[in-house]
Amino acid sequence: MHSGWLSVFAFLVVSSLIGFGLLAASRVIRVRSKSDSPLKHRTYECGEEPAGLAWMQFHARYYVVAIFFVLFDVEAVFLFPWAVVLRELGSAAFVAAVLFVVVLMLGWLYALRKEALQWQ
Amino acid sequence: MSLWFALSPLLILSAGGLLLMLADAFSEKHTDLALGAFMTFASAGIFAVALWIMGGVPAEVAKLVAPWIVLDKFTLFFMATLCLGGALSSLLAGGYLPEHGLDRGEFYALMILSAIGGVLLVAAGDFLALFIGLETMSIGVYAMTSFRRTNPRSAEGGMKYYLLGSFAAAIMLYGFALMYGATGTTALAGIRDALASGSFGYARDPSRLTTVIIAMAMILVGLAFKISAVPFHMWTPDAYQGAPTPATAFMSVVVKAAAVATAMRVLLVAFGDKFSSSWGAGWPPVVAGLAVATMVVANLIAIRQENVKRMLAYSSIAHAGYLLIGLVAAWGHGDPSASRNGKAAILFYLLQYTVTQAGAFGALILCGSKGKEAVSYEDLAGLGRRNPAVALPFTLFLLSLAGIPPMSGFFGKLFIFQSAIEGGFTWLAVIGLLNSVLAAFYYLRVLVFLYMKEPQPGAVEAVPMKSGYVTAAMVLASALVLYFGLMPGRSLDMAISAAQSLM
C-alpha cells in the first residue's frame, strides 16, 4: 500500500474512533432524567419553541444573504490553496489574487450601494 | 507586442463592465449608461480590429495563454463581430429601457459581462475555458431575459431559459468529462491529436470508442442548445418573446455568434480527425440532419406566428439551420478548399446577420409605443405611410433576412449554399434554398402590413416612439447592411483569412 494512503486510512480510523467514542461516552456518563416530559420531544431541546413548520414561504431577502454567503465562502475556498503555494508562485500570483479580491470587492461595493444588505 | 495589448479587447470589456456597474450604483441618472456601454463595446471592437490590421497576435505572444485561450485571427474576427452586436444592442437598450419603464442600470453591466463570456467562449482552446466562457455568457443573458420583472412572459422565458440552459450545460460538461476520461486532456488540439494518433487505438480497445461517441453526442447536444437548433430550440421563442427587445437582439446576435464560433472550433478542431469527422460514424451527418430539421421546422412554425417578435425568434432559429449547413460544408469531406470556403461563409454570414438581426429588432422597438411593444402584425399596419423613417430601415432588414439582393443577407446565403455545393452537399443547398423561399413569405408579410394595409377602423393607432439612440443604431445597421451587400469583397476576404487561421 502506498504510504500516503496509509495515513489517510489512519486518519479515518482515529476520527471515527473519536466520533463514536464521544457519543458512547456521553451515553455512559450522562445524567438520566427520571420523568419523560413532553419537552424532551421538542425539536430544540433548549427551551426554544419552534414557530410553525419548515415548509413555508421564506422571504426573498434570505436569497440575497445566501448569495453573499456563497460568494465569500467561494472566495475563501480560492484563497486557501493560493496562500499555501504563494511562496513558490511568487509575485505574479500575489497580483492575480489581489485583482481577484478587488473585483469581488467592487461587486460588494455595488451590493452595498444598492442596499442589498439592508433589511427593511 | 505585449500580452496586455493582445488581450486588450477582453480587458477593455472587463474594465468597462465593472465601471458601468459602479456608475450605476453611484449615480442617480441612468440614461447615459447606454452611451458608456456603446463606447466600451466600440473601443473593444476597435482594439480587435487594430490587432487584426497589425497582422494578428504574434505566435510568441499567443503561446503565453495557449492552449486555454487561442488568439488567432478567427478569435479576432469574432471579437469584432461580438462587439459590433453588443454596441448595437446597447444603443437599442438606451432607447428601449427608459421608454418601457425599465431604466435600471444593471442591464448594461450585465450585457457587457455577458459579452466577456462570449469573447472567452470564442477564444477558448480548452474545454475548461470554454465552459467558463459559456456560463459567464449565459448567466448574464438569463438575468437579462427576465428583466421585465412584472411581466409574466418575461419571467416565464427567463425561467425556461435558465432551467433548460443549466440542463444543457450539465449534459455538455458530462461530455467534456467523458472526453477527458477517454483522451486524458481537455485541450481541443490535444484531443484531436489523441483521437488521430495511432496509439489511441479504437481497434484495440472498443470501449474507448463508445466513450468517445457518447461524449461527442453530449457535447453536440450542448452546442445545439446554445445555437438553438431543432430539437433543442424549445426555449428560444419563449425567451426571445419574453425578454426586453434589446436583450432579444443581444441573444439572437451575440450569443448565437459565439455559440456557432465555439461549435466550429470544437467540431472542426477537436473532432477534426479522420474518424470523428467521417460521414459514416462521425458528427457531419448528425449536423446535416440538425440543419434540415432546424430549417424546415422553424420556417413552418414561423409562418403561423401572429406575433412579430415571436416570428423573428423562429426566423432566428431558421438562420441557425443555414449556419449548420455551412458547418457541414466547412467539413467538406476533408477537401481543404471547400472546407475553407465553408468556414469563411459562416463567418461572413454571422457578420452580416449581426447587423441585420439587431437592426430588425431595433426597427421593431421603434414601431412600439410607450410602455407597449408592437406585438402583432396589425400593430404595424399603415406604418409605411404614417412613419416612413421607421418603415424604410425595417424593410431593408427584412429583405436582408429574406436574402434578397442587393442586401447583405443575399450574399450570406449565397456563400453558404455555394460552399455546400462545392463540398458535395447539393441536396443540403437545395433544401436550404427551398427554405429561403418559404421564409420570404413571412418576411414579406410584414412588408404587406407596413405598406399595403391600413389599421382596422377603431383600432388604437400607436404613436411610434422616438429615440436618438435607436435611430443611431438604425443608421449604423442600415449602412452596414448596404455595405456588406454592395461591397462584400473586403469583409469576405477577412472572413477567408480568419477561416484559414482556424486549426
Q: What is the mean pLDDT of residues B199-215?
A: 72
Q: What is the pLDDT of residue A47?
A: 67
Q: Is B451 exposed, middle or buried (0-12, 13-18, 19+ CB in 10 A)?
A: middle
Whether pLDDT at B457 is above 80: no
pLDDT (tens digit per residue) in A25-81? 988 888 777 777 776 777 776 667 777 777 888 787 788 888 888 888 988 998 999
**Pairwise CA distance, residues A53 & A39, whole Å:** 17
Q: Which residues pair with B376 in a beta bridge?
A: B307
B398 band by pLDDT with thresholds 50, 70 and 90: very high
Whether pLDDT at B203 is above 70: no
Residue closest to B470 by CA, chosen among B174, B100, B197, B131: B100
Q: What DSSP character marks residue B372?
A: B
Domain extent for A82: 54-120
Q: Are B43 and B313 in contact (CB under 8 A)?
A: no
- Residue A66, in any domain of the structure: yes
Contact B22 A114 (CB under 8 A): no
Question: How much is the pTM?
Answer: 0.88
Residues in A closer than 8 angstroms to B21, CB to CB, are: 106-107, 110
For residue A25, the tally of other CB atoms under 10 A from its CB is 10
Q: What is the pLDDT of residue B385?
A: 85
Q: Are B341 and B418 in contact (CB under 8 A)?
A: yes
**Pairwise CA distance, residues B191 & B272, whole Å:** 9
Q: What DSSP character marks residue A43?
A: S
**Pairwise CA distance, residues B317 & B309, whole Å:** 13
Domain extent for B304: 3-501
B406 band by pLDDT with thresholds 50, 70 and 90: confident
Q: Are B4 and A89 in contact (CB under 8 A)?
A: no
- Residue A71, in any domain of the structure: yes
pLDDT (tens digit per residue) in B124-165? 999 999 999 999 999 999 999 999 988 899 999 999 999 999
**Pairwise CA distance, residues B18 & B23, whole Å:** 9
State how many domains chain A has: 1
- Nearest residue in chain B measured CA to CA from A114: B25
- Residue A83, in any domain of the structure: yes
Q: Are B157 and B239 in contact (CB under 8 A)?
A: yes
- Residue A112, in any domain of the structure: yes
pLDDT (tens digit per residue) in B40-49? 999 999 999 9
Residue closest to B89 by CA, chosen among B480, B469, B479: B469
pLDDT (tens digit per residue) in A75-100? 899 899 999 998 888 888 999 999 99
B396 band by pLDDT with thresholds 50, 70 and 90: very high
End-to-end CA distance of chain A: 59
SS3 A3: helix
- Residue A95, in any domain of the structure: yes
**Pairwise CA distance, residues B32 & B94, whole Å:** 8
Whether pLDDT at B196 is above 90: no
Q: What is the pLDDT of residue B462?
A: 65
**Pairwise CA distance, residues B177 & B182, whole Å:** 9
**Pairwise CA distance, residues A106 & A103, whole Å:** 5
Residues in B closer than 8 angstroms to A109, CB to CB, are: 22, 25
State how many domains chain B has: 1
Residues in A closer than 8 angstroms to B18, CB to CB, are: 103, 106
B26 touches chain A (CB under 8 A): yes
pLDDT (tens digit per residue) in B164-193? 999 999 999 999 999 998 888 899 999 988
**Pairwise CA distance, residues B500 & B13, whole Å:** 27
Q: Are B412 and B323 in contact (CB under 8 A)?
A: no
Q: What is the pLDDT of residue B465?
A: 78
Q: Return phi, psi of residue B192, to 5°.
A: -60, -45
Residue A68's CATH number: 1.20.58.1610
pLDDT (tens digit per residue) in B20-30? 999 988 887 65
B264's enclosing H/E stretch is helix B256-264
Contact B22 A109 (CB under 8 A): yes
- Residue A11, in any domain of the structure: no
- Residue A3, in any domain of the structure: no
Percent of the residues in chain B that have a pLDDT greater than 70, as a whole number: 96
pLDDT (tens digit per residue) in B229-240? 989 999 999 999
Q: What is the pLDDT of residue A51?
A: 75
- Residue A93, in any domain of the structure: yes
For chain A, the average pLDDT equals 84
Q: What DSSP character marks residue B503?
A: -
pLDDT (tens digit per residue) in B250-303? 999 999 999 999 999 999 998 888 777 888 778 999 999 999 999 999 999 999
**Pairwise CA distance, residues B494 & B479, whole Å:** 19
